[in-house]
Every structure is written in C-alpha cells, then in structure tokens.
Amino acid sequence: MAPEIAKGLKDVYLDKTKASFIDGQEGKLLYRGYNIHDLAEKSTFEEVVYLLLYGSLPNKKQLADLDAELKANRIVPDGIIQVLDVVKASHPMDALRTGVSALSAFDPDVNDNSTEATIRKGIRLTAMGPTIVAAHHRLRQGLEPVAPNPELNHSGNFLYMLFGELPDQETVDLLDVDFILHAEHGANASAFGARVTASTLSDLHSAVTTGIGVLKGPWHGGAAEEVMKMAQDIGNPENAEEYARKILDSGGRIMGFGHRVYRAEDPRARHLRDRSRKLGEKLGHPEWFQILTHLEQETMVPYRAKGICVNVDFFAGSIYYLLGIPDDLFISIFALGRIPGWTLQCVEQYADNILIRPLLEYAGEMDVEYVPIEQRP
C-alpha cells in the first residue's frame, strides 16, 4: 500500500506550541494568548519581544531592563562591518544572512542551547539585526554606517541608522506596528526551517540564518515588494481593473492576496490598511492606496468566497515605499521583526527536541544493473 503523501506538509501538525495561535477560517491570530489587534494598537515592539521570549507581558522594570539590554547590544563588531563591506553589492537579505552567521564568531553563548542562553542570543540578534541591515544599505551607497542612537527605541533607531536623520514619531510608530505584526506566525516556512536546524542541535545563529534564507524566497517573504511593483506598473487607479484582469485571465496571481493558512482576511492586514491611506494622504501620494483599494474592493471581491483574501503584505509595500525605503529592503524589514519569533520557535524545539526527518516515497527505477564506463553508449 502506497504511503499517504502530504505535499508541502499541508495541514500536518509538527508539534505543540505556546508561541502563537492561528485560526485561518476566522482570521484570528494570538501571540502567547494575546490578540494581535490589541498588541498592534496598544503595545510596543519591545513589549512584544518580551512577551514572546518570556511568556508574559512585562511590568515597567522588566520592560526597562529588556530595553536596556537591546540598546546595549546594538553595536556590531568591526569585523562584521568589514564583512558587510566585502558583500556590499549583494542583496540586503544575503547581507543579513551573512552578517547573522558571522556574528556567531563573536557570541560567547554560541554553542549553549539552553533556554536562558538561547533567549540571550535572540535578544542580541534582535538588537544587531537592524544595525546590519542599515550598515549594509549605507555601505552600498558609498556612505559610512551610522552608529546606533541609545536615545531612540528599536524602530526609531533603525530608521535613524538607515537614513542618517532623526525620524518623526508618526513614522517610528508606524514601523513599530509593522514589526509587531511580523514578529511571530507559527510553523511557516522560515520558522519550520529554523526548527529543522535547531532539531539537529545546531546553534541559534545557524537556525536564524536558515530562517533568513527561507524567508528570502518570493513565495514566502517577497510579496510586499511584488505588490508595490504591481502598483507601480498599474500607475493610476483607473488602470487597475484592466491590469488585474489580464493577469487573472492568463492564470496569474495578484500578489498580496491569499495565504496558506488564512481563508478569511489576514487579521494583520487591517492595521496596515488605514495607515497606508493616512500616510499616502500626508505625503501627497494617495494614488497607491487608491490602486490597492480598487483591487481589494472591486477586482478581487469574487475571490473572497474561494478563501482568497488580502494578506499582511498587501499594504506593507506601499508603506515602505512611501517612507522612502528601497524595495529590496522590504523583506529585510520582515526578517528584523521575525527574529524574536524564530528565537521562540527554537527555544521550544530545544526544550523537547526530536530530529525532524520526514520521508520521501521513492518513485525511480529499482535494482538497475551497473554497466562499466567502457561498455556504455
């Protein structure tokens, strides 16, 4: 009897988790039991980092201590800057992947997979990730990296290092929400990849490097960039219908719609929809939101009944674009928000580990006779 094959491991439960709960039919997402709507509108990224890593919302002292630890670990070693300069022509995700891997050479806990050490490493990687991305971006422009600013929060400091000027509070808050929305999302492809690496008892740096590599793929983390390219191709709201119809009639996909888990609207999308509109109006470029709205509320309406709804990437790209962030940095921002989630996934894997090793059903020839090379045609 042939084995049952679950292509893509669809609907297969790998393990139990306390990290996040996803109800794809209802469109519900919880981090450690807390609704994403409450966290996005009431919390900060630093609070969410604490929640994910330690399992509860912090009190004032706990939050202050974590904030101090994050700020104390923002500066990367000079050797990392040198590595980033060598690879300055590479894609930002390649640079982040290389930088995270290289950081293992400087981490005193690199081979300690205890929960305490893994959390310490996760905090350091969360703190240094923005420095790597910002430094690489400036180096490829022929500019000097900007040193971290201890007066700014996590999101504000990243924007400061990226652009070399103090960001306004509205922009900081906007990126903070984006980081929160991307912080954790179950056993998605990158988290699964990180767990596979952790299951071999390799170190957290290796696991996060795996996660970054998996996230880079356009079927996982690249949708926000593709959505913005699509909006630019459309150009004006009145062109949206014809453009989308040509893609759909040829069997193509409208990027930013559909999700492997969600059959209702991605609950994260609502928090970027209104922010995309307000930012566009503020900066005098409402056309991008208008194009996206036309696609969502007119062209794609018939597909909702098939479970193809807007996802978190749909409005994210327009926000990044309006903030002046280059499109090849979009996935890197996703990755920076996800480092705490990858860390928690690895903490859980290490705590109750078994080597992740699925099977493949062989479909090739059997018992083929070996022919010496002299006798081969």
For the annotated catalytic residues, the residue numbers are 259, 313
Phi-psi region of 315 (alpha: psi -120 to 50; beta: other; left: phi over 0): alpha
DSSP 372: -
Residue 293: count other Cβ atoms within 10 Å of its Cβ: 17
Q: Token digits for 72?
A: 């104390």
Q: Hey, what's the torsion of the CAs at 123, 124, 125, 130, to 10 degrees?
A: 100
Query: Which SS3 state, helix, strand or coil, does residue 28 take?
Result: strand
Helix orientation angle between 115-140 and 78-86, rounded to the nearest 10 degrees? 50
* d(C-alpha 48, C-alpha 39), whole Å: 7
**Which amino acid is it at 96?**
L
Q: For residue 48, give the nearest of 123, 160, 124 by alpha carbon.
A: 123
Enter the tokens of residue 212. Answer: 């970054």
- How long a stretch of residues is the chain? 377
